[in-house]
Amino acid sequence: MERVGILNKENFSNQEYYVDLVKNINDDDFAKNNTAKKFTIVTFGCQMNEHDSENIKGMLSNMGYNETENMEDADIILYNTCAVRENAESRFFGNIGALKNLKKKNPSLIIATCGCMMQEPHIVKELTSKYKHVNIIFGTHNLYKFPELLYTYISLI
């Protein structure tokens, strides 16, 4: 598991750089298509997950995305998971599995997963081996790096 090290002002200012890069990409896309990019976040678990999801919403908004309730309209679907709540694992995998058909209909859809469940090695192994339609996986320790992870993925497609 990756060690993050000490979080300092530089770590966060680096993320502002990636926020700006993604926003520029989305602004260019909006200028061409006159349609804003959209996101949906599904949160399983505790109050901390709710708080983290609010932080991610802020990041996505700063990157030029608008929130939507409808997954079929979303350009990004993010699941924020909990490893503590009962039945969370089976619920999570059921929901992630159901997104496979949505990804087939919309190959540019970005599916991301985060939260404490993503810090469990057996979960990450199962995701990477059986759920190839999931594009970005990160734990709570890397939450602040989401703009960089998103930019890196977008740059690869």
For residue 14, tell me if it sits in a domain.
no
Residue 27 lies in a domain: no
Read off the CATH number of the domain in which 81 is found: 3.40.50.2300
Average pLDDT, the chain: 91
Residue in the block written with tokens 């599904």: 42
**Predicted TM-score (pTM) of this structure:** 0.91
> Do 80 and 112 meet the contact criterion of CB atoms below 8 Å apart?
no
Domain that holds residue 126: 35-156
Number of structural domains, the chain?
1
pLDDT tens digits for range 130-139: 999 999 999 9
In a domain, 144, yes or no: yes
pLDDT value for 2:
44
Contact between 68 and 39 (Cβ < 8 Å): yes
